[in-house]
Structure 1
């Protein structure tokens, strides 16, 4: 589906400015979501609450974000993405800063909910702006950088908090105040550069489905399932790979940790490869299928074969890179399937499958290990990925069918 607002050869300098603005906000979004957990030991002593209660801050922030993404997507499509992006980023920044003044942990919980409200804006607004502002020749790289900057935010938060609080000895209150206020220049930059951020064109009246009809169409439900199952598989690997390798093969902690690091590095850097591919080739589903199949084989190898210690991190790195590279073409497939003017709600709904997958996965995978079934963990990851491919294929086929029905000219099949 061609972007009607932006010509295919739009100026690259303008595109990269947009990608930089949106990516910086996405970095902050992910950074703020992980900047509370490193403070749990300090808060436990200062506020006298349990770790279970402390975990509520992260759980509430994530849950509110996931629940509100779809309603916010409707608002973004109706009123435009820019004001919501500005407001959401500002709310996140001020909420984190205000935690520095909190007299009790219960105030921090309330501010975590407020930060989650601000964070719920990011995905629907970001994708609506990128899909409407970036030239088609750079759309894949734009989506790749969006994912990459978010992953960097996750990676940076524990390091920055640890350095400021533990190494430099800065108190947690000045640390949160400073980190929260970092969002204000980002808000100012987005505001000053907002003229280059385009909103979606309003959809023309037609018989095409709109609103809730779009979200509950077979195409979008299958894409939602694709994101959900992919997230469940990824969280299973990130949370339980070390324990699984230890229980299965007695892998030393250092080697198992290196394997997990390899997986995370591969998954993070792989999205950039996927963005490069998505901008140069059109067979996105074929690419996603091939790489996901490769990762399935590699996860099965780690779970069923006693691989040498020197090989294990390399296999995990390649598996992570394959999955990471498949993510950007996946996002472009969703964008192309979204009806004009509906990108905000589509990505708000579909991307809510990511935190939902993270919420569903830990307990059943933990039960496998607790009940002496570590051999089941990685094959389950492989099965989830295989099921996600089925959902992606169904969504892709339905989207092509709808596009052919709406267009008199033949469309290429993958």
Structure 2
């Protein structure tokens, strides 16, 4: 563990005077942004039908959003140190809402691809900045629990938007539905502007002599531990993104309508929300290692079970699949801060999310090609195998967790 004298003082490490308000506001932003991001899964089958897309093109659309996230999440974390966390969060939220509203203007695959990518670029600021703001707001205690609530809020947004969007497209079509939700997100950016008025971002920290030499760079207190943790995150994101991209097509093949697919994702995200809370608590009780191993084995088994079950059986299994898919993330996110100095957490979270986003970018493309060549069944079985790759990585983390 790093010497306590190496911890910087100054605004970057100060506790928030009103942590509850900060947590509530950032959670609302998280819910809105994750609603933008994950409602795309509901829209993919509709876009495939509207524009005549194959699995590889579907994967490219999902990867356009994830790729934009991967490109800008790390720079966003660094920029927030100079421009302010509040400014970038408000700007990104407003731009994401405008981009989502513009989806309905698409007349071709290329135009849709471009708008999805721009929306992802705008939304990329939320994860690193939101995580860093909360991590600093609860620096004096309750950080892991606060980050668990933060992650839970994202799944609430996913669940609500998936359910509402799936219902709305039945009555007004996907173009009008995306316009409506986009405007809601723009309005939220104004709320964030007001509620986070006391958040100015991290001023240059005042360091003690022992830490002055380490003031640059990433601020790792355990570089190898952070690297292994990031590797688990990469595998977890690759599996989760691939499953969520192609599960709606498996459901459609079983006879599911657009409204049923919206309900299905609401159930997945409801399970995910519960999973993040439950697994966060489970991580405190049985440890990070056992929790991650348990969730990854459960993920692999439930992917296969969902694939083999009839439609009604798959619907019943989806909340459990959601718990397994998302349960890993809370314990991973809550551990990042243990390997990094307080004044470098924005960029460390940015790097962490960027690595996951790169995996989430490549996964739909790769498994889309697998789907076109070998079929949807082989694609989902392959994703179950990928989930199990996280197990040996998790076992490597044991000595580093005991240090943190």
Which residue in the other structure is 2:233 paired with? 227
Per the alignment, do residues 232 and 393 of structure 1 end up closer, same or farther by CA in structure 2, a change over 3 Å counting? farther
Q: TM-score scaled by structure 2?
A: 0.73
Distance in 1 of aligned mates of 2:341 and 2:352: 14
Write the distance in 2 (CA, Å) between the matches of 1:291 and 1:112. Answer: 34
Give the RMSD, CA atoms, in angstroms: 4.6
Report 1:339-378 matches (<5 A). Answer: 339-361=341-363, 363=366
Distance 1:119 1:260, change over 3 A: closer
Alpha-carbon shift at residue 182 of structure 1 (Å): 0.3
- Give the alignment of 1:215-364 within 5 angstroms: 217-235=223-241, 265-275=270-280, 287-295=287-295, 298=298, 321=323, 324-361=326-363, 363=366
Give 1:325 shift.
Answer: 4.9
Aligned counterparts of 1:354 and 1:189: Cα–Cα separation in 2: 29
Matched, 1:50 2:53: yes
Tell me how far apart the structure 2 counterparts of residues 185 and 60 of structure 1 sit (CA, whole Å). 25
Counterpart of 1:405?
none
Matched residue, 1:248: none
Contact 1:5 1:201 (C-alpha < 8 Å) held by counterparts: no
CA distance in 2, matches of 1:179, 1:125: 23
Sort the Cα spacing of 1:375 and 1:58 in 2 relative to 1 into closer, same or farther, 3 A.
closer
In 1: Cα distance, 2:188 partner to 2:337 partner: 26
Map 1:29-44 to 2 at 5 A: 29-36=33-40, 38-39=42-43
Q: Distance in 2 between matches of 1:319 and 1:53?
A: 25
Aligned to 2:395: 390
Change in 2 beyond 3 A, CA 1:395/1:89:
farther
1:128 and 2:132 matched? yes
1:90 to 2:99 alignment: no
TM-score by length of 1: 0.71
Change (3 A) 1:95 1:26: same
- Is 1:299–1:381's contact at 8 Å kept on the other side of the alignment? no
Q: 1:42 and 1:271, CA in 2 relative to 1: closer, same or farther beyond 3 A?
A: closer
Unaligned segments of structure 2, at least 5 residues? none
1:27–1:386: structure 2 CA closer, same or farther, 3 Å change rule? same
1:323–1:67 CA distance, 2 compared to 1 (3 A): same
1:395 to 1:90, Cα distance in 2 relative to 1, 3 A:
farther
Question: What CA distance in whole angstroms lies between the structure 2 residues aligned with 1:140 and 1:54?
Answer: 36
More helix by share: 2
Contact 2:220–2:339 (CA under 8 A) maintained in structure 1: no
The structure having more radius of gyration, on CA atoms, is: 1
Q: What is the number of equivalent residue pairs in this alignment?
A: 375
Against the structure 1 CA distance between its residues 261 and 178, is the aligned structure 2 distance closer, same or farther, given a 3 Å change threshold? closer
Name the counterpart of 1:23: 27
Q: In structure 2, the residue corresponding to 1:210 is in which secondary structure?
A: coil
CA displacement at 1:301 relative to structure 2 = 7.1
- 1:92 is displaced (CA, Å) by 0.4
CA contact under 8 A between 2:162 and 2:266: conserved in structure 1? no
Q: Could you tell me how far 1:201 is from its partner in structure 2?
A: 5.4
The equivalent residue for 1:5 is 14
Find the residue that maps to 1:170 and give its secondary structure. helix
SS at match of 2:397: helix
